[in-house]
Amino acid sequence: MSNADPIIERVASYKEDEKESAIEHVERVEASTAKGRAKKYEDDAAEILRQAGNLEYTVEDDKRVLRKIDRWVLIPMFFTYTLVHLDKNALSYGAVFDLQKETHLVGSQYSWLSSSLYLVQLIIQPLAALALVRLPLAKWVAANVFGWGLSVACMAAAKDFKTLMVCRVFVGVFEAPISPTFMAVSQLWWRRREQTYRNTFWLLSSGFASLVGPLTAFGVGHIHTGTLRPYQSIFIFLGCLTVVIAPIILWAMPDDIKSARFLDVREKAIAVERLRANNTGTKTSHWEWYQCREAFLDPKTYLFGIMLLVTAIPSSGISSFGGLITKGFGFTSFQAILFQIPMAALMVILTTAGTFTINKIKLRFPVIAFITIAPISGAIALIYVDRSKTGALLGAYYLVTIYNCIQPLLYSWANSNAAGTTKQRTIGGVLFVCQCAGNVIGPQVYFAREAPVYHTGLYTDISCWCLLCVLCLFMGFYLKMLNRRQAKRREAAGGHANIQDTSIMTLEEAAEYNKKLAAEGVLANQNAFADLTDFENPDFQYVL
Residue type at position 265: V
Q: What angle do CA 230, 245, 429 make, to 5 degrees?
A: 95
Please say if the pLDDT value at position 528 is more than 70: no
DSSP class per residue in 260-280: -TTS-HHHHHHHHHTTGGG-S
Listed in sequence order, the residues at least 6 apart from 253 whose beta carbon sits closer than 8 Å to its beta carbon are: 72, 73, 76, 77, 137, 138, 141, 142
**Distance between CA atoms of 288 and 531, rounded to whole angstroms?**
10
pLDDT interval class at 526 (50, 70, 90): low
d(CA 214, CA 220): 10
Closest CA to 325 of 196, 454, 148: 454
- Same domain, yes or no, for 474 and 526? no
46, 75: one domain: no
Query: Between 72 and 21, whose confidence is greater?
Result: 72
Mean pLDDT of 404-421: 84
Question: Which pLDDT band, with edges at 50, 70 and 90, does 299 fall under?
Answer: very high
| Distance in angstroms (rounded) separating the CA atoms of residues 184 and 421 | 9
d(CA 230, CA 214): 13
Q: Would residue 283 count as lying in a domain?
A: no
Give the whole-angstrom CA distance, residue 62 versus residue 274: 7
Specify the pLDDT at position 281: 64
Which pLDDT tens digit goes with each residue over 367-377?
999 999 999 99
pLDDT tens, 110-131? 878 877 877 887 788 777 777 7
Does the pLDDT value for residue 288 go beyond 80? yes
Highest-confidence segment of 11-20, 123-132, 174-183, 319-328: 174-183
pLDDT tens, residue by residue, 376-388:
999 999 888 887 8
pLDDT of 476: 94
Residue 177 sits in the same domain as residue 245: yes
Q: Are residues 28 and 86 in the same domain?
A: no
Question: Is the separation of the CB atoms in 405 and 375 below 8 Å?
Answer: no
Range of the domain at 356: 59-259+288-482
Q: What is the DSSP string of 319-344?
A: HHHHHHHHHTTT--HHHHHHTTHHHH
Q: Are residues 26 and 152 in the same domain?
A: no
Q: Residues 448-460: what's their mean pLDDT?
A: 85
pLDDT tops 90 at residue 454: no
pLDDT of amino acid 25: 37
Mean pLDDT of 333-354: 75
Report which residue type is found at 267.
E
Residues 473-503 have pLDDT tens digits of 999 999 999 999 988 888 887 777 788 888 8
CA atoms within 13 A on the CB side of 76: 26
Query: Is residue 397 assigned to a domain?
Result: yes
Question: What is the structure's pLDDT at 282?
Answer: 67
Flag whether pLDDT at 513 surpasses 70: yes
Position 116 in a domain = yes
What confidence category does residue 19 fall into, taking pLDDT thresholds of 50, 70 and 90? very low
Q: What is the pLDDT of residues 218-261, one digit of tens each?
A: 788 777 666 788 888 888 888 999 999 999 998 989 988 888 88
Give a yes or no: residue 493 inside a domain: no
pLDDT on residue 224: 66
The confidence score (pLDDT) of residue 536 equals 86
For residue 494, the SS3 value is: coil
**CATH number, position 351:** 1.20.1250.20
Cα separation, 399 vs 539, whole angstroms: 41
Average pLDDT estimate for 295-303:
94
Is 268 part of a structural domain of the chain? no
Cα torsion angle, 12, 14, 16, 17, sign: negative
Instruction: Output the pLDDT for position 101.
Output: 82
The predicted structure's pLDDT at residue 42: 56
**Please, what sign has the CA dihedral across residues 457, 458, 463, 467?**
positive
Q: Is the pLDDT of residue 18 over 70?
A: no
Residues 252 and 393 in one domain: yes
Longest dimension (CA), the chain: 83
32 and 66 part of one domain: no
d(C-alpha 157, C-alpha 266), whole Å: 52
Say if residues 530 and 42 touch (Cβ distance below 8 Å).
yes
Whether residue 95 is found in the same domain as residue 216: yes
The per-residue pLDDT of the chain, averaged, comes to: 80
Query: How far are the Cα atoms of 264, 265, 336, 502 from residue 261, in angstroms, in the given order?
Result: 7, 10, 45, 28
Which tops the pLDDT comparison, 282 or 143? 143
Residue 7 has pLDDT above 70, yes or no: no
Q: Which amino acid is at 198?
A: R
| Mean pLDDT of the 161-176 span | 88
Residue 502 lies in a domain: no
Q: Is residue 296 part of a domain?
A: yes
Residues 6+ apart with CB under 8 A from 2: 54, 55, 56, 518
In a shared domain, residues 471 and 535:
no
Least confident stretch, 71-75, 78-82, 98-102: 98-102
Instruction: Please give the full DSSP string across 167-236, using - where no structure is assigned.
Output: HHHHHHHHHTTHHHHHHHHHHHH--HHHHHHHHHHHHTHHHHHHHHHHHHHHHHHT---SSS-HHHHHHH
Same domain, 421 and 539: no
193 and 82 in a common domain = yes
Element holding 3 (H helix, E strand): none
Residue 84 has pLDDT above 70, yes or no: yes
Least Cα distance to 420 among 296, 268, 529, 526 occurs for 529
pLDDT at 300 > cutoff 90? yes
Q: Which of 229-233, 342-346, 515-519 has the lowest mean pLDDT?
A: 342-346
So what's the pLDDT on residue 501?
Answer: 81
Which of these three, 466, 482, 498, is where a domain ends? 482
pLDDT for the residue numbered 474: 96
Residues 357, 445 within the same domain: yes
Predicted local confidence at residue 391, as pLDDT: 81
Count CB-CB contacts under 10 A for residue 490: 21
Q: What is the DSSP letter of 254?
A: -
What is the predicted pLDDT for the residue at 411?
84
pLDDT band at 43 (very low <50, low <70, confident <90, very high): low
Q: Structural domain tally of the chain?
A: 2
Report if residue 378 sits inside a domain.
Answer: yes
